Amino acid sequence: MRIAERIDLMAKLGEHLLEDKDEFLHALMSRTEFNNQWFTLENQNLAIKAIAEQFLQREYLQEWVNHYSGVEPKSPKKVGLVLAGNIPMVGFHDILSVFMAGHKACVKLSSKDAFIMPYLFKILGEWDERAIPYFKVQQKLDGFEAVIATGSNNSSRYFEAYFGKYPHIIRKNRNAVAVLTGEEDQDELHQLGKDVFRYFGLGCRNVAKLYIPVDYDFDPLLTALHEYRSVVLHTKYKNNFDYNYAMLMLNKEPFKANGCILLREDQETSSRIANLNYEYYQALEEVPNLLNDREEQIQCVVAKDGVLETRTLPFGAAQSPGLMDYADGVDTMKFLTTLS
């Protein structure tokens, strides 16, 4: 398939997903939720809608591939993909990248999200049988010539040992952070709640830590985040909230709470489920150095426009990445288009 045909096919998939009339897909979403209670129907719908709107619009796809040469490789490669399973459809961008680069994806699905992706491959093949060889689900990866693997800091060591001799991208744990000045209004703080709570905070683009001034008033933030209190109606989230609350109490560790999130002072970039870490800064000028010190742990930075000189995302936008927003800041398409 030529690049124009691949764009046509993916744009058609985007239209199909936005129509939201596929009853078999809905059935698979229910099966996914039964298999993995973190993947609620609401969160699956959010993920699918974001993919259709942010990734699968024809003009976005065309603009994206125009940044690269080599999208018509003379010798297509088999690219092994080890997909994460922390939030619904999280590996779709890698699959899309391999397809747009003209290579063939050998996909190792996460057991937490094993039903939707094969169905999407099936309907793409039904629409155009030439697409069938581009997508292959494997229980154990073999026959690959390059690898993109996403996992934890622990699993990345095994990935390095196993895949190190192949061209590869290996990703580790990352999280988003937010920089607050105390001048944010209630709407901005409410939008920040989307970055914190969407997908129960399990995504690498979820805000897991705040950088705040030493005289920060937590009350407006806690009030704004309390608007998301329905999250504690989810059993798994509530269990984590209760456990972490009890541990903080038993350990006599200072914390702040509003009934749906626990805020604790901690320099770690990642936080536990139902927790949000924070770290004080003396002056805003210190923050770039603080971020640079943890650059390899930070996926993206959320802040009010103009607060930092470096690129930041507006409040509420962390979980709405575009095609050029690559995980870990590694240009996946550049990697793929130079394989040949």
Single-letter code of the amino acid located at 256: K
74 neighbors 84 (Cβ within 8 angstroms): no
- pLDDT for the residue 209: 98
- Pull the structure tokens for residue 43: 């969160």
Q: How far is CA 27 from CA 18, 21, 85, 115, 265, in A?
A: 16, 11, 19, 10, 43
The model carries a pTM of 0.94
* Residues linked to residue 79 through DSSP beta bridges, in sequence order: 105, 146
Residues 60 and 125 in one domain: yes
DSSP letters for 64-93: HHTT-S-SS-SSPPEEEEE---SSTTTTHH
My answer on whether 186 and 80 are in the same domain is no
Examine the domain organization and report whether 82 and 47 are in the same domain: yes
β 262-265/256-257 pair status = antiparallel
Domain CATH number, residue 124: 3.40.605.10
Give yes or no: residues 140 and 228 share one domain.
no
Contact 270, 204 (CB under 8 A): no
Helix (H, G, I), strand (E, B) or coil at 107: strand
Which residues share a beta bridge with 278? 210, 265
Total domains in the chain come to 2
Which tens digit of pLDDT belongs to each residue from 182-218? 999 999 999 999 999 999 999 999 999 999 999 999 9
- Average pLDDT across the chain, whole number: 96
Are residue 213 and residue 260 in the same domain, yes or no? yes
34 and 150, same structural domain? yes
Q: Residue 152: what pLDDT? A: 87
My answer on whether 8 and 150 are in the same domain is yes
Question: Residue 315: inside a domain, yes or no?
Answer: no
Question: Given 172, 200, 230, which residue is the final one in a domain?
Answer: 172
Tell me, yes or no, whether 331 lies in a domain.
Answer: no
Domain containing 181 equals: 175-303
Question: Does residue 277 lie within any of the structural domains?
Answer: yes
Same domain for 16 and 162, yes or no, is yes
In a domain, 72, yes or no: yes
Distance CA 319, CA 279 (A): 22
User: 93 and 50, same structural domain?
Assistant: yes
DSSP 271-324: --TTEEEEEEESSGGGHHHHHHHTGGGEEEEEE-TTSSSS--B-TT-TT---TT
Domain boundary among 172, 200, 233: 172
Q: Are residues 90 and 146 in the same domain?
A: yes
Q: Do residues 279 and 257 lie in contact, with contact meaning Cβ atoms separated by under 8 Å?
A: no
Counting every residue written for the chain, the total comes to: 340
The answer to whether residues 251 and 145 belong to one domain is no
pLDDT digits (tens, 9 = 90+) for 66-115: 999 999 999 999 999 999 999 999 999 999 999 999 999 999 999 999 99
Query: Which pLDDT does position 46 carry in this prediction?
Result: 97
C-alpha Rg value of the chain to the nearest Å = 21
pLDDT at 122: 98
Between CA 6 and CA 130 the distance in angstroms is 10
- Helices (DSSP H) in 142-213: which residue ranges? 153-163, 186-197
Q: Are residues 155 and 76 in the same domain?
A: yes
Output the domain CATH number for residue 203.
Answer: 3.40.309.10
Name the strand (E) or helix (H) holding 210.
Answer: strand 207-213
User: pLDDT means per 10 residues in the chain (340 residues)?
Assistant: 97 97 97 98 97 98 96 96 96 98 97 97 98 97 95 88 93 96 97 98 97 97 97 97 97 96 97 98 96 96 95 96 95 94
Judge whether 104 lies within some domain: yes
